[in-house]
Amino acid sequence: MRIIALTNQKGGVGKTTTTVNLAAALALRNKKVVLLDLDPQAHMTTFFGVDPNGLEKTAYEVLTQSLPLAEGLIPIRENIGLLSSGLDLAGAEQELVSVVGRETILRDAIENYKDHCDYVFIDCPPSLGLLTLNALGAAEEVFMPLQPHFLSLQGLSQLLETVLLVQRRINPPLRVTGLLFCMYDQRTSLASEILRDIEHFMLQQREVDCPWNAVKIFNTRIRRNVKLAESPSHGQTIFEYEPNCNGACDYQALADEVESMVEGPRQSETPAVHPETAAVHPETAAVHPETAAVHQDHAGEIVTDTEVILDPAEDHSLASDADGTAGGDTESGSIDDSVEAGVETATGGSSGLDIHQAEGTARPE
Ligand SMILES: Nc1ncnc2c1ncn2[C@@H]1O[C@H](COP(=O)(O)OP(=O)(O)OP(=O)(O)O)[C@@H](O)[C@H]1O
Ligand SMILES: [Mg+2]
């Protein structure tokens, strides 16, 4: 079973469209897929023609009332089970603020899910709040859909920072495994420049011990296709709505690539990097200090833009040092300090890519 969070805190980049249609492509190949709608906007839920109002067993109940995942799943299509979202999910972040272990509730729910499935896809909201942290705490892999715009690059930087922190603090096996360009127009030079810069940056990161050093930039690019924009209003996947359009072809090609990654980044239960022994150095964070969405405050708590707190005092079994500093081989113990201490070597690409690379620890052979 592969657990994959599709996330990007930037809105409207194609997360939900990709989650639905990639899942549909895999389900047509007889793969058993579970979809978790963690977005209070409930776009994925409505995408499948389900009215999110008035549902009694949703992600909200799983997160706040210990509803077992199996009881919340709606058999939405052959081979696809959907945990729907509802508007009350927005309140879950507030309700869970004082709950111990709040950022690993989803992970526990998935671990307790006994039924067999091949893929769990988590559609995240466009934010880095507690719902997204739960997704990152539960996932093994992150796929990041992005549009080839300059502003997407800032989003990439922030997301990598968040993944690094979650990976070090609560979920060591977490890896960013896929970057997917959506609404791609190869005729524009900006798209190819940004693609080239990201490829260059990721190539440099191969030798750095960080959770994105083995990321695959999918060869498939999801082209802009009006049928993909139309299909949700019919409550249909692209394969139901227009199975021969470019959008359907692109998502089939993506499914080929995703299946070919089947060995997955995590081949054993032993994480490649453990927070307490890791050669991960905070200076490997591919972030610019001024754009970092996550900070560590004076008490050692990690605080995101949405002020969701990962409590370092909790025993996540894989958690951090007792003093609340980030786990790992940190020297200063402070993310902010470390990032600021990082040596910035901007890739300086033609698109103005502002992802700064710091000196990292070479990955041990
Ligand atoms: N390849 C595409 N071609 C044309 N339209 C697309 C394509 N992919 C997505 N869209 C449309 O773009 C809009 C945003 O897509 P989507 O809802 O998948 O993004 P999102 O990242 O999930 O957004 P949010 O952050 O709000 O959850 C939707 O109206 C969708 O139908
Ligand atoms: Mg969405």
DSSP secondary structure letters along 2-35: EEEEE--SSTTSSHHHHHHHHHHHHHHTT--EEE
Confidence check: pLDDT of 89 > 50? yes
CB-ligand 1 contact for 168 (6 Å cutoff): no
Q: Which atom of ligand 1 is nearest to the CA of 231?
A: 31
**CA 125 to ligand 2 centroid distance, Å:** 6
pLDDT in tens, 156-194: 888 999 999 999 999 999 999 999 999 998 788 888 888
- Topology of domain 2-263, per CATH? Rossmann fold (3.40.50)
Q: Which atom of ligand 1 is nearest to the CA of 226?
A: 4
pLDDT grade for 294, boundaries at 50, 70 and 90: very low
Report, as an integer, the average pLDDT of 290-315: 38
pLDDT grade for 345, boundaries at 50, 70 and 90: very low
Q: Identify whether the C-beta of residue 44 lies closer than 8 Å to the C-beta of residue 82.
A: yes
Rounded to 5°, angle at Cα 24 from 23 and 29: 95
The residue nearest atom 10 of ligand 1, judged by CA position, is: 229
The residue nearest atom 20 of ligand 1, judged by CA position, is: 12
Report, as an integer, the average pLDDT of 293-307: 37
**CA 77 to ligand 1 centroid distance, Å:** 21
**CA 211 to ligand 1 centroid distance, Å:** 26
Report, as an integer, the average pLDDT of 263-278: 37
Return the pLDDT at 152: 77
Return the pLDDT at 190: 87
Long-range contacts of 195-198 (CB under 8 A, 24+ apart): 195/148, 196/349, 196/350, 196/351, 197/153, 197/347, 197/349, 197/350, 197/351, 197/353, 198/153, 198/156, 198/353
CB-ligand 1 contact for 358 (6 Å cutoff): no
Give the CA distances from residue 238 to residues 39, 146, 246, in Å, rounded to whole numbers and listed in that order: 21, 19, 10
Report, as an integer, the average pLDDT of 145-151: 87
Give the ligand whose atoms come closest to the C-alpha of residue 37: 2
Give the CA distances from residue 139 to residues 4, 6, 47, 55, in Å, rounded to whole numbers and listed in that order: 5, 10, 23, 25
Using a pLDDT cut of 70, give the percent of the chain over it: 72
Confidence check: pLDDT of 289 > 90? no
How far apart (Å, rounded) are the C-alpha atoms in residues 80 and 28? 10
Give the ligand whose atoms come closest to the C-alpha of residue 44: 2
Q: Identify whether the C-beta of residue 5 lies closer than 8 Å to the C-beta of residue 139.
A: yes
CB-ligand 1 contact for 213 (6 Å cutoff): no
Domain-wise residue ranges, the chain: 2-263
Tell me which range, 80-84, 150-154, 259-263, is most confidently predicted by mean pLDDT. Answer: 80-84
Which residue in this structure is represented by tokens 């992970």? Answer: 107
How far apart (Å, rounded) are the C-alpha atoms in residues 210 and 137? 16
Q: Which atom of ligand 1 is nearest to the CA of 223?
A: 1
Q: Identify whether the C-beta of residue 150 lies closer than 8 Å to the C-beta of residue 193.
A: no
Return the pLDDT at 325: 33
Which among 161, 154, 218 is positioned nearest to 340, based on CA atoms?
Answer: 161
Q: Identify whether the C-beta of residue 365 lies closer than 8 Å to the C-beta of residue 207.
A: no
Q: Choose the weakest-confidence range: 125-139, 271-285, 304-318.
A: 271-285
